[in-house]
Amino acid sequence: MNLHHLDGPDPAGQRDLNELLNRLVTLLLTGYTTDEQLISLLSNMQLRCSNS
């Protein structure tokens, strides 16, 4: 799954986000994460985004 269709004002930051999302999708599809790990990751990402 490739998420390169997202456009934003910061191309470098957007590429970083796309790469992170691609890796996250790979982890989810291959089953390497538990529900608890996924919830923790998403909560951490939300917290970091709200503090920026």
pLDDT value at residue 1: 44
pTM of full prediction above 0.85: no
pLDDT value at residue 52: 65
Pair of tokens at residue 3: 């998420």
User: Torsion angle, CA of 43/41/7/16, rounded to 10 degrees?
Assistant: 140
pLDDT 10s digits, 3-44: 444 455 677 778 888 888 888 888 888 988 888 988 898 888
pLDDT value at residue 9: 62
pLDDT value at residue 2: 46
User: Nearest-5° angle of CA 16, CA 17, CA 21?
Assistant: 120
Count other Cβ atoms within 10 Å, centred on residue 27.
Answer: 13
